[in-house]
Chains A and B, each alone.
Chain A
Amino acid sequence: MTVGAPSADRHFAGLRPATFGTTVLREWQLALPLGLAFAALFLTPLLLLVGVSFFNDEKMTQPGLLSWLTFFGDPFNYKVIGDTLMLGVKTVCTTVLIGYPLALVYLDLSPRLQKILLFIIVMPLLLSVVVRTFAWIVVLGREGVVNSVLMGLGIISEPLKLLQTELGLVISLTQIEMPLMLLPLISVMSRQDPNLRDASAALGASRWRTLFTVILPLSTPGLVAGCLLVFASSTTAFISQTVIGGVRLIYLPLVIWQQSLVVYHWPLAAVASLALVISVLSVIAALSWVGRRSGGYING
């Protein structure tokens, strides 16, 4: 799909009147105020952060590589990076496992019910992450919903410890990140031609076979986009990680927060936050490469 685009654009530009050149110039300048704001408030701070990471001490007097060497010389930090990335992978798996079926159900609903379901899906996105995290404390706590239901049914006699465990955190993040998976999925899947599914059924394929040979391959771009968003968001979800995970489950955002706002060692905090960016973005780059390849395969 990326192959066809440039030639189509040249064609489009060729059809424009001759005055287009001057219009481009004038229109383009409208983006200057935002460009300046982003240069001053976004790009410069990020470049500065990279610069700060190359100082040895917290007073930032001696430049050097000591902060990088300290951070990456400590085996504990590798475990933290690994745990953070695994948390993202687990959350992506659970959101796909229950989100994808919901997207399939969405396709089969009447337009009216589709509207209601979409509203239900989008609604949590507009609720503060703090509220959604708090909701899971009420659900998973010692005297929370899950424990009182299970104890009421006599399935367990002692309350289960769900808060401050990775299981509880993954369950909570599944709900918190679910809209990010569903929106791109539904967007791509509702653009599929429904005739393809009908044709597959008419040719004798079971619904399972239609799912795995028709719907799933065609929805790959949406699935990849959803996985990217959920992964990026769950690995950096500081509030949910600290409140539900507690202090014993340590992920990179907590390390960044401790180094910068508790210990005030900015160079180390800068290294930790750059480690977060690099590790998360490299997984994202790998995933989107896979996505582009599969997208090309489908269209070609």
Chain B
Amino acid sequence: MARRRSVGDLSYGLVIGGLATIAVTIIVAPVVIVLMTSFTEGQALKFPPKGFSLMWYEQLFDPTKSRQIHRTAENSLIIACYSTLLGVVLGTLASLGLARNRTRAARAADNFFMSPLVLPGITYGLAALVYFSLLGFRPSIELMVAGHLIVTMPFILRTTTASLSQLDPALLDSSKSLGASWFYTLRRVTLPLIAPGIAAGAFLAFMASIDNVPVSLFLSNARTDTLPIRMWGMMESTLDVRVAAVSGVLITAAFLLMLIMEWTVGLTRRMRD
């Protein structure tokens, strides 16, 4: 039995370890390769990249040469900020209202608010375009904020509701029995305790808004388009090496933000649970 087990365990280690190695490589390698190519001296995207230079970053940060990219990045940031801010207010209120409510209606409402996660984004994008056009609205930043608010809401609700349901009800009861009003309890007990959950959700919603393509694709025009839409255009036409530089900036920003969120609110733990 001992012999059979050792042969079996060896093959197990080889197969599982091998496949897991492929998985890690496939996850990490493309990101590293993009970072490397963004420092190329050449005019084309080749591998291995020719030489080392910051010329594509210089071009990217040049306000006249990359004016379009800067404008779309600004749009992306504005839309993400407003939709996240609005989302946190509406989402936290709704979570407070529904998280500990066990009625069938409350569960249904919760599922309804989470449904943008499973509905194909392109379907919602088209629906929003048709709706706003028939109402007579023209593409604007406000419409983009409205669309992004809907598709990023599940991220805010999930972490906020999770931290509310982990909250010990005895804390709220004792605050109440000590004479605190509902609002005082909310301000001094509930909110401080669920703040990390809200922050994690807000961060994920913000990143999802920056990243969003399907809704932006339908609701934006030449004036209100966002960075991902612009990058998509740059990738579809000529393969501009500045895309690599933009990617480099976005990778670095995402990495740093994620480290900060990991240290402050334990982001990955919240995403796993």
Contact = CB atoms under 8 A, between A and B. Distances in A.
A50 to B, nearest CB: 9
B168 interface: no
Interface string A129-152: 111111111110101110010000
B194 interface: no
A274 interface: yes
B63 interface: no
A239 B150 contact: no
Interface residues of A, number: 98
B208 to A, nearest CB: 9
Contacts of B268: 115, 118-119, 122
Interface in B100-154: 100-103, 106, 109, 112-113, 116, 118-124, 126-132, 134, 146-147, 149-150, 153
Contacts of A261: 217-218
B197 interface: no
A187 to B, nearest CB: 5
A139 B33 contact: yes
B46 A208 contact: no
A99 B34 contact: no
A160 interface: no
A242 interface: yes
Contacts of B26: 98, 171, 174-175, 178
Contacts of B236: 242-243
A134 B218 CA distance: 21
A33 B19 contact: no
Contact of B239 (A30, A41, A137, A277): A137
A124 B31 contact: yes
B19 A30 contact: no
Given A137-B45, A207-B12, A260-B126, A29 B30 contact: no
Contact of B213 (A100, A118, A125, A129): A129
A121 B14 CA distance: 22
A256 B232 contact: no
Contacts of B128: 41, 45
A220 interface: no
Contact of B44 (A9, A143, A208, A242): A143
Interface residues of B, number: 100
B37 interface: yes
Nearest to A12: B102
Contacts of B170: none
Given A31-B109, A122-B267, A136 B149 contact: no
Contact of A273 (B31, B126, B211, B251): B126
B180 interface: no
Contact of A277 (B120, B149, B217): B120
Interface string A31-44: 11111011001101
Contact of B101 (A28, A35, A228): A28
Nearest to B248: A131
A34 B122 contact: no
B127 A45 contact: yes
A3 interface: no
A59 to B, nearest CB: 13
Interface of B: 1, 4-5, 8-9, 11-13, 15-20, 22-24, 26-31, 33-34, 37, 44-48, 90-91, 93-94, 96-98, 100-103, 106, 109, 112-113, 116, 118-124, 126-132, 134, 146-147, 149-150, 153, 182, 204, 207, 210-211, 213-214, 217-218, 227-228, 231-232, 235-236, 239, 243-244, 246-247, 250-251, 254-255, 257-258, 262, 267-269, 271-273
Given A131-B251, A236-B122, A277-B119, 13 more contacts: A30-B97, A34-B94, A45-B132, A119-B262, A130-B211, A131-B250, A139-B47, A187-B272, A206-B8, A208-B12, A256-B126, A270-B130, A277-B123
